[in-house]
Structure 1
Amino acid sequence: MSGPLAADGGPTLFLIAGEPSGDALGARLMSAARRLTGGKVRFVGIGGEKMMAEGLVSLFPMAELTLFGIFELLPHLPNLIRRIDQTVAEVMRVHPDAVIGIDSPGFTVRVAKKVRVAAPSILLIHYVAPTVWAWKPKRAAKYAAIYDHLLAVLPFEPPYFEREGLACTFVGHSVVEGGAGKGDGVGFRNRHGIGPADRVVAVLPGSRKGEVSRLLPDFRATMERLLPSHPNLMAVVPTVATVRDRVAAAIADWPVRTVLVEGDTEKYDAFAAAEAALAASGTVSLELALARLPTVIAYRLNPVTVALYRRLIRVKYVNLVNLMLDRMLVPELLQQDCRPDRLAMELGRLLDDPAARQAQIDGVAEVARWLGQGDTPPSERAARAVLDVIAERRLNGPQEGKP
């Protein structure tokens, strides 16, 4: 049984995103699916600002799902369980052609498991393969038992899942479509009154409340340490709506001139205007690589959460740039190393040592090719894969071994 057709005969897609990076993926997927179907597609589900700009009416605010870490999650667990049940009920009501969970496995996998039991005819697709090559390799078999298809963003990922019987398509990393390498630095400086002698650092404290709270005090102290030797230093802080007020309050008393910006255009223009970046670990590190902006990566989690994770981690680095190159190109200062003196030393080196800057700029070019830069847009590959899986299901019914 296929899902209900959109009013014009196209498929219905139930999309679930739980954080800003997934919201961006979902929005690009929606746009590409609309192009490929000539507009004959219907979208329902959960998303943020970008997906809503593409026409999605979110079932509830995506911000409720933007959680990370065991101890950060526990106080919100009752509401999370309620939202899982609400989402499953909405899937049952809509009965779409496919449910597409976009990353955020703490929520999307739980929804998918319940949908698999309640409505086995609905296609289940997950966008962004879990990093089984980094930790918890048994997740490959777990996903194979739940999902019909997986969309991978890295070229080496499909074999991990195909050997478990899960069809997997490499689509490329959607970050290459964001325009991170096409910012207007001159225009940004002019708009914000930034002079040619000003030394601009892009400061990116993350998109989760916990990240912002943990990292911004150290980022402030880092800028304070650098100021005596860099009197024209200033910070540009790109942020997102979910944490904007929190970030604005935290940077109000910074010792250097600070400019808060919001939106991708301003963020990418800020990258082009900056000389270096100090950033929380996450998708933004890939955007910085595509922008060829030398970066220092920082991160800190609850110590107990880290102790549990360290027993499971199978890789040497947290930054995907370093992982793909298998060397420490971009400095990573994590946990006890994430402190102002170390951050200031590494950031100061990028500001003052042209050779160190150029080494990063040269090193990320290979990574950009791995991510799919310069090829068919990843969102188009992803949308085509989704539509092909739906077409095959409508034609042939469920695969053998699947419900």
Structure 2
Amino acid sequence: MAPWLLRSCPARRVWRRWLSGDAVSPGRRTIDDPVRVFVVAGEPSGDVIGGRLLAAMRELWPASLRLSGIGGSCMEREGVKSIFEMDDLAVMGVPELLPHLITLSRRLHQAVDAAVRFDPHIIVTIDSKGFSFRFLRKIKDFCAKSKVPGPFCVHYVCPSFWAWKGGEEKLRNLSEVVDHLLCILPFEEGICKSSGLNASFVGHPVLDDAFDLAGKSADFNVIQSKWMIHGNGQKFRQDHNLTSESPVITVLPGSRAQELHKMLPIYGSALKHLSRSFPGLAAIIPTVPNRTLTGIIDMAVRDWGLPVVVVPGASLEDKYNSFAASDAALVTSGTAVMQLQMCRVPCVVAYRANILTEWIIKQRTVLKYVSLPNILLDSPAVPEALFSSCKPDRLACLLG
């Protein structure tokens, strides 16, 4: 969340109401006491959100903010020393989850223990609903059992209840563990409130990219009235020895190890198919700041048979400049789809998972699409190749 947004949107009233004592028991604290905030992010996109939120909160409480929690490099820059590696929580899907159950259980108890010792006034969990809601449940149970006032619990990024059968019923149960939901889509706030949950619409995090880049560098032209970001593609190509004539595809395979192992071989084969029709084809892969994930990518692209520019730990500027240098993109469904739309880069959305996970998704979803632009428009504006249709020749055809 950009600082100006926290100052102007309903989320600011959430924090102010809590500070004034309306959201906690009298005597819990005084206005001059330090504000202790425990933040939990389980994946890179949540870490970015957490970093921005904490930066905005520090503007409100520059001297009194005290931080702890679980996060990555963005939250660390704001002063959070993560109690363990955030990557341990980045698991999605039922079969994919099974080998990690012991680790996740240990991490859950470790997180609860750290939070209890920190004694936060506010807990913020960001996305990663499986871990986040179990964590909040244990915190609430501890406070009830110990008969002590609990922290004000906020969950940032409302779970996609609207995507699943029986989703609204599960949403109503969240009132037991969440004091306030911060929604990133405008229609979510009203539905949450009608289900008995306190909620505020605070805007989609990708829009913050425009505010972060505006005025930061001469390389960027940000048109806020149209929500467009134009990076310096020519400079990116020059810096990475890509000629102006070379066709370039940005590849965004995901931010979890399981996604990389599943999607990179498919993407590599698709680009080999495409290179037969487009001589000189090159690929760009901006990575999250994680050595393990970057190492997986480096190993995978060795067999692709075409020039690949891997940008390790890509900054926001690096990412949008790479988009500007690209003719099209291959992207695993997620936040990156919206970022590409901000740059008006044509893309194909792809997704494969364990066969059981895919079956569960097909049985439970009420949606026709998986990418947010298509969901919001209720139209296949962005081509999607999902599950059994996610094959190299199919991706090459859609890109070509």
TM tier, shorter chain? 0.7 to 0.9
Residue 151 of structure 2 corresponds to 122
Q: Letter of the aligned partner of 1:227 in structure 2?
A: S
Structure 1 distance, partners of 2:42, 2:356, is 24
1:101 pairs with one of 108, 125, 129: 125
Check 1:38–1:331 CA distance in 2 against 1; reply closer, same or farther (3 A cut).
same
Q: Is the Cα–Cα contact under 8 Å of residues 253 and 260 in structure 2 kept in the other structure? A: yes
Check 1:291–1:4 CA distance in 2 against 1; reply closer, same or farther (3 A cut).
farther
Do residues 191 (structure 1) and 239 (structure 2) align? Answer: yes
Report the count of equivalent residues.
347
Alignment of 1:86-235 (within 5 A): 86-119=110-143, 121-135=150-164, 136-179=167-210, 181-235=229-283
Structure 2 distance, partners of 1:81, 1:218, is 32
More off after superposition, 33-42 vs 214-223: 33-42
Which digits, 9 at most, give the CA deviation of each residue in 1:2-41, with x for residues without a partner? Answer: 77789x7441110000000000000000111112223431
SS at match of 2:285: strand
SS at match of 1:196: coil
2:330 pairs with one of 264, 270, 278: 278
- How far residue 305 of structure 1 moved from its aligned partner, in angstroms, is 1.3
More off after superposition, 175-184 vs 31-40: 175-184
Residue 303 of structure 2 corresponds to 253
Structure 1 distance, partners of 2:334, 2:30, is 37
1:318 pairs with one of 370, 376, 381: 370
Q: Letter of the aligned partner of 1:207 in structure 2?
A: S
Residue 318 of structure 2 corresponds to 266
Q: Letter of the aligned partner of 1:28 in structure 2?
A: R
Residue 353 of structure 1 corresponds to none
Do residues 344 (structure 1) and 344 (structure 2) align? Answer: no
Structure 2 distance, partners of 1:139, 1:247, is 37
Identity of aligned residues (%): 40
Structure 2 distance, partners of 1:3, 1:59, is 26
Q: Is the Cα–Cα contact under 8 Å of residues 234 and 244 in structure 2 kept in the other structure? A: no
SS at match of 1:124: strand
Q: Which has the higher contact order (CA 8 A, sep 6+)?
A: 1
Q: Letter of the aligned partner of 2:196 in structure 1?
A: G
Q: Letter of the aligned partner of 2:105 in structure 1?
A: I
- How far residue 255 of structure 1 moved from its aligned partner, in angstroms, is 1.6
Check 1:118–1:340 CA distance in 2 against 1; reply closer, same or farther (3 A cut).
same
Residue 146 of structure 2 corresponds to none
Residue 37 of structure 2 corresponds to 13
Residue 392 of structure 1 corresponds to none
Structure 2 distance, partners of 1:155, 1:271, is 27
Q: Which runs of 4+ in 1 moved over 3 A?
A: 1-6
Q: Is the Cα–Cα contact under 8 Å of residues 3 and 122 in structure 1 kept in the other structure? A: no
Q: Is the Cα–Cα contact under 8 Å of residues 3 and 95 in structure 1 kept in the other structure? A: no
SS at match of 1:99: strand
Structure 1 distance, partners of 2:64, 2:376, is 38
Q: Is the Cα–Cα contact under 8 Å of residues 132 and 160 in structure 1 kept in the other structure? A: no
Structure 2 distance, partners of 1:261, 1:5, is 47
Check 1:212–1:4 CA distance in 2 against 1; reply closer, same or farther (3 A cut).
farther
2:94 pairs with one of 62, 70, 77: 70
Q: Is the Cα–Cα contact under 8 Å of residues 38 and 120 in structure 2 kept in the other structure? A: yes
SS at match of 1:178: helix
Structure 1 distance, partners of 2:63, 2:126, is 21
Residue 6 of structure 2 corresponds to none
SS at match of 1:278: strand
For structure 2, the residue ranges without an aligned partner over 5 or more in a row are 1-24, 144-148, 214-228
Q: Scaled by the length of structure 1, what TM-score is found?
A: 0.83
Structure 1 distance, partners of 2:192, 2:239, is 48
RMSD: 1.6
SS at match of 2:382: coil
Which digits, 9 at most, give the CA deviation of each residue in 1:113-159, with x for residues without a partner? Answer: 01111125211110000111111232211212211100000000012
SS at match of 1:254: coil
Structure 2 distance, partners of 1:107, 1:190, is 43
Structure 1 distance, partners of 2:276, 2:42, is 41
Q: Letter of the aligned partner of 2:335 in structure 1?
A: T
Structure 2 distance, partners of 1:198, 1:308, is 41
Check 1:182–1:13 CA distance in 2 against 1; reply closer, same or farther (3 A cut).
farther
SS at match of 2:360: helix
Structure 2 distance, partners of 1:4, 1:310, is 48
Structure 1 distance, partners of 2:65, 2:186, is 28
- How far residue 308 of structure 1 moved from its aligned partner, in angstroms, is 1.6
Q: Is the Cα–Cα contact under 8 Å of residues 168 and 195 in structure 2 kept in the other structure? A: no
Structure 1 distance, partners of 2:199, 2:257, is 33
Residue 68 of structure 2 corresponds to 44
Q: Letter of the aligned partner of 2:279 in structure 1?
A: P
